[in-house]
A = this chain, B = another copy of it.
Amino acid sequence: MSEQPRAVLVRPGEVVVEQEPVPEPGPGQVLIDVAAVGVCGSDVHYFDHGRIADFVVTEPLVLGHEASGVIRALGPGVTDRAIGQRVALEPQQTCGRCRECLTGRYNLCPEVEFFATPPVHGAFARSVVLAAHRAHPVPDSLSDEAAALIEPLSVGVWANQKAGVQPGDRVLITGAGPVGLLCADVARARGAALVAVSDTNPYRLGVAAERGAGQVIDAAEGPLRDRLDSVDVIIECSGATPAVRSAFEVAAPAARVVLVGLGAATMELPVADIQIKELVVTGTFRYANCYPAAIALAASGAVDLDGLVTGRFGLDQVAEALLATRTDPHSLKPIVHPGR
């Protein structure tokens, strides 16, 4: 049995490359050689703290869930995928039998297993297995890195779908990290009349403007209500309580508010505003059924994924990749290439 390397978080702050047997694809699964893996804030959080909320790393864990690759082997019964096919990995496995799965919101499946969420290993490895139908073929026009970033783009697709963004809508995105930027891109691709992006980081606001945001707002300079007319949609990507509060102040009647950024478990929300304006407030937990749309948006050029990449690392540099966002103030999306 052949072996392959993978990068394992053995304790907070320490990642080691170890050898493991190459996994075998089971029935309905494929084996994928991993081409590129984006570093997500949640990876960094596990690296730093060994936990996110109730998800605790108690055993060595492979991080990384934004991945692309090439199909290398087919498990029994797989007929609709081919060896050599380039794919974006939708890194979740769901039961297919519960109410959530059967009604089309499989992301809420109580038995969901998600890459790099303990105890499920992620994609910082030479190859991984995945259900064939979660390995989404990508066109050759998409780079490996862009294909990896279909994952965070799906977060943006889902948030915009929840918000029902459509032409004529004025949209505010709070937080200009990678997810906020991608939410802004998707809002623009859906024809929003205005996409305004707020953050306290001028560099990131500059990136937002370059990517096409119609208005960028330095949230450090005062409340949003002083610089923005009311908006129909708020997509909150900062997780910062002050941002949430400031955003609610500019919500138009019947505005939709989608909470994407993870922050405090509870927040003081303006309940009277929710009532008087009949705001609709919801949140997103990953995504469901978003990969095809995300791939199409990236393939058409409507969303630029390659432009988010700010660093490239080998499998033996995973810790460096994880630290990049702190060491480099201009870092947005470090990419690990396990095969290099």
**Chain A contacts to B: CB under 8 angstroms:** 28, 53, 96-108, 110, 131-133, 157, 160-162, 166-168, 186, 189-191, 193-194, 244, 253-254, 259-260, 262-272, 274-285, 288-290, 292-294, 296-297, 300, 302
Contact = CB atoms under 8 A, between A and B. Distances in A.
A167 B296 contact: yes
A300 B191 CA distance: 9
A286 to B, nearest CB: 10
A293 B168 contact: yes
A45 to B, nearest CB: 14
A194 B292 CA distance: 12
Number of copies: 4
Interface of A is mostly: mixed
Nearest to A253: B108
Contacts of A260: 275
A292 B96 CA distance: 17
A190 B168 contact: no
A106 B102 contact: yes
Given A97-B28, A190-B190, A108 B278 contact: yes
A275 B236 CA distance: 11
A307 to B, nearest CB: 18
B270 A268 contact: no
Given A166-B190, A190-B166, A193-B296, A102 B267 contact: no
18 contacts: A100-B254, A102-B288, A102-B289, A157-B167, A166-B293, A167-B293, A167-B297, A168-B294, A190-B190, A191-B302, A259-B271, A262-B275, A266-B268, A266-B270, A269-B271, A271-B283, A280-B281, A281-B282
